[in-house]
Chain A
Amino acid sequence: DQQVKQNSPSLSVQEGRISILNCDYTNSMFDYFLWYKKYPAEGPTFLISISSIKDKNEDGRFTVFLNKSAKHLSLHIVPSQPGDSAVYFCAASARVVTGANNLFFGTGTRLTVIP
């Protein structure tokens, strides 16, 4: 039933190294993908997005890669910083195909960046 999956509940990385967070999806109608970052007691904050017509989008230290054939996307953070420690949610929508803008979320991956 869950259409967006984040199979790693947690990830620990040394400061300065690369963090790679993974996400898989099952619905082929998804055409827009987003990553959100969430700190405790706060709402999710938009981080970066990618349209299905692209395979890569970069914004500073954050890069999202999309592999449509594998229905897989990943978020790379380079270099990782202690302030990046948070829960990261992958989300998807089928807004072009269905006109609906509601987001489908994964269960999140807790990233811990060790100083």
Chain B
Amino acid sequence: EAGVTQFPSHSVIEKGQTVTLRCDPISGHDNLYWYRRVMGKEIKFLLHFVKESKQDESGMPNNRFLAERTGGTYSTLKVQPAELEDSGVYFCASSPGTSGAGEQYFGPGTRLTVT
């Protein structure tokens, strides 16, 4: 079974540009999460999808960030326009809808560098 995949693995953009990150969850997982780790700090929650619906977007830092999950499969996270403080590693995770244990399965992350 394929794990969570993320694309690209690394992106370098200039301040003011737009970047779109993609996440493909484990097949059949209804829950999809986005997290971010800024250098040396903790991994922080951004938002949670259940199928195509946003269940919780309390962690989204501001309206420059837009997440979508059309059709309840893959998800995209767009940053527009990017700022220097957006640099970090963006992780996507997924979990099955009836998971009783609560663990989430993480992708390898996208390292975003804004210069």
Contacts and interface: CB of A to CB of B under 8 A. Distances in A.
Contact of B45 (A49, A95, A102, A106): A102
Given A105-B42, A107-B42, A100 B103 contact: no
**Among B44, B101, B106, B107, which residue has the most Cβ atoms of chain A within 10 A?**
B106
Contacts, number: 61
Contacts of B29: none
B106 A102 contact: no
Contact of A43 (B48, B95, B102, B108): B108
Given A34-B102, A49-B101, A107-B40, 5 more contacts: A36-B106, A42-B108, A43-B107, A101-B95, A102-B56
Interface of B: 4, 31, 33, 35, 40-45, 48, 55-56, 58-59, 91, 93, 95, 101-109
